[in-house]
Structure 1
Amino acid sequence: MQQNQKSETSMKLKRLVEQGLQEHLAANAARGVQTLRERIAAMVHSQMFEYAAGFVILANLVVIGIEAQLSLDMDSEFPDLSWPWWMERIFLLTYCLEIFLRIVAGGRAVCRDVWFLMDLALVLAGWTALLFLPLAGVDALAAEKLLIVRGLRLLRLVRALRMINHFKVIWRLVYGLLTAGQTIISTTALILISLFVCSCVAVELIGKDRDLLEDSVTGPIVQTYFRGIDKSLITLIQFVTLDSVASIYFPLIMLKPYLSVFFLGLIVVISIGLMNLVTAAVLENAMQAAVQDAEAEKSAMLNTVKDAIPELLKIFQSIDKDNSGILTHDEVMTVEVDILPKKFLQTVHVNSMLELFDYLDVDQTGELTREEFIEGLLDLCLRDMPLHMVQMLKLLHLILGMSKKIDIHLEALRSRQQTVVLPSAI
């Protein structure tokens, strides 16, 4: 099973390399002057831009926290034209520049991005808090408290970090919480309806019971927790989380045992049943998010392959002295290993180009085509396994192909033998 998955991954990588080579060669053939908008789009869509924007937001929140602590220590707010006043304006202008770059890069299509709309709403809230509300006569200090919601933009930083292994769990938790909004709202409505019905029943069974009211132990409990729909509803909310409910139902059940049916049903249906349904619904959303993450990883892999192909193609062309499109053992002997990208050398530890050539030349032909060279390097970088394992898998794949050819030749020999034996027997 694992071997089939790895073989499938290798075939996908091979198709990606072929597609990337075709696109790169076509782009070189029709290369023109890159427009300013294309350069801005490449910058905006890069992960470094997302990281930079996220860390600017983080720095803004740190400044807000320092300002809040210092103002608390001074027992007064900072005046106008002080350093926090200037910092807020600088950060807000930075956010406006980011919004402008995203609009230039994406055009009208960016208005369909939920993350962009959230960023735009938060930036508009910042301008409203700093400029428009004070002009309307609203207290500036109270208006600036709206700026704290800017911390929600840190979710974009978490989204940008989702492709890094150490941050995948954080992104799954955040994304699961964001996508579970409809589930949470539906569950809350269902719980409130159930609690309202149960509170009506509680008023009839407990709030109006004379024996419970006249008892010295249960009387204060009924007056405090069940004497009215509002009190019963708030009391039953405790049963959702089972928050110290034993002190409420235990004395009542001891005096009226039939109330155990009511409280037991409340605990089973609401405290256990509905809460587990919420967990199941959130888990389902998390599984859907995992599928989307897998699609995002495939897209990231495609982008990585497309970005790496031009540099690897230049390396291949620099090694291929005779421009034959095939690397030989003699051509690689005079090449230093430093010609490879630093990221590749950090991932795959090789001492020389000859060693790398031997790893890539699995069929021992002494030659590597352009596609084999690029595919092999990308395969080593993208797969999380040692070099000898990759070579072993390729050898197994080669042996499988050779065994199929041997089977075909054996069948041909058997058919020939039968044709020779039959006439001699006759």
Structure 2
Amino acid sequence: MHTNLKGMLTITALLGLSAATAAHAGPARITAQSIIVNPSQPQLDVQVWVNKDASGRGNPVYRKGEQISVGLKTNRDAYVYLFNVNANGQIDLFFPNTYEESNFVQAGATRVFPARNASYTLTVGGPNGQDKLLALASTRELNIDDIATFAGGQGFAEVKVQGQENLARALSVVLNPLPADGWVTDVATFRVGNVAQRPPAQGGATGTVTVTPDPPAPSEPAPEQPVTRIQPGEKGDGSFDAAMVDAYSRLKGDESLGAATSYAQGWSDGLWQKFRGVAAYGDAVLLHANGSSRAYAVHGRLLERYLALAQAENGGTRPPSRLGWAAGDEKVIPRNSYGTSGLYGFFQNGALYGTEKYGTFWLTGNVLKTYQGLGGSGSFLGFPTRDQYLLNGGWAADFEGGTLRTVNGAVKVSRK
């Protein structure tokens, strides 16, 4: 996009977020890994959206050269940071900036960028593809000097990192000192596409179409059998599971789950539906337990371990008893004090923690309750390094920074 500063030079940038003196960051590829989220589900909340989709849950298309505005709202007083990641992985920070007095946002107040009569505008400039807006709200003002800096009278900061995963890693370092309920994030998406004029129809009417990177369809396609795409939540009889439909929308399934590869079908006393997955997310399923009003997703290595436990216990005919059905959305956990980041899956009877460094392991019962009460992977214990196991007749678990042992019915905590 371009930022058009009234009376000043227009500079191409990610969201057009550079004044005339801004430097250009080189392109980089982003992955489909989730943008950083807080696994503790704090009461603090932030919402972000673009002017073409006030819900913040759609994926509207903008033409190059079209103006865009961004809105946000928090439920508590907070400091807010707005990042954009474009299709090439280039990142920009456009709030705070030197044109706004402060990035402090009052509870319940709606902020729009650019504001009316602002000295800058935001104009879509490309490249074509998917853009993501990340809103980070914090109860404390953050020191992000290692991520972005203002220099030479710039209106917008120069961001030092590129790629969504690198941004998540850098932010996790900044957020690590905060209390568990001290920050929260939200993401809105939009697509960028070229617009071409169609040849005028007889009578002078004209129209526009959005051009995507996909190759054009042949003018005379070869005859083929009709292909029916299975929809999220769709059952074999044509009816739909409302909880799965809602979950796909809530999780922005086209970016995190991909296309359905099976109908929603019975599994034990509930339903599950398989999805192709998207890049780093890996294969995925939506799980809907009987009696629950919500369905939840399990991806990649957490899904592999979950199904392996079910297969070993009961031949894969129902969820593993030590975990049960998924009971919450999968979370990306930011890097902890040991430099480890990973995934967290919450289930009816337990939890799965997955890292590339150690693997994916289950915890349950009082061991899990004690671990999470201490702060989970963000505490001095860090991530688990093996499955929970029996030791001298009691449950035990090993972690990066210590151990939990059940002695005479009570869980004892030890540091390394």
Using structure 1 for the length normalisation, give the TM-score.
Answer: 0.23
Larger Cα Rg: Structure 1 or Structure 2? 1
Using structure 2 for the length normalisation, give the TM-score.
Answer: 0.23
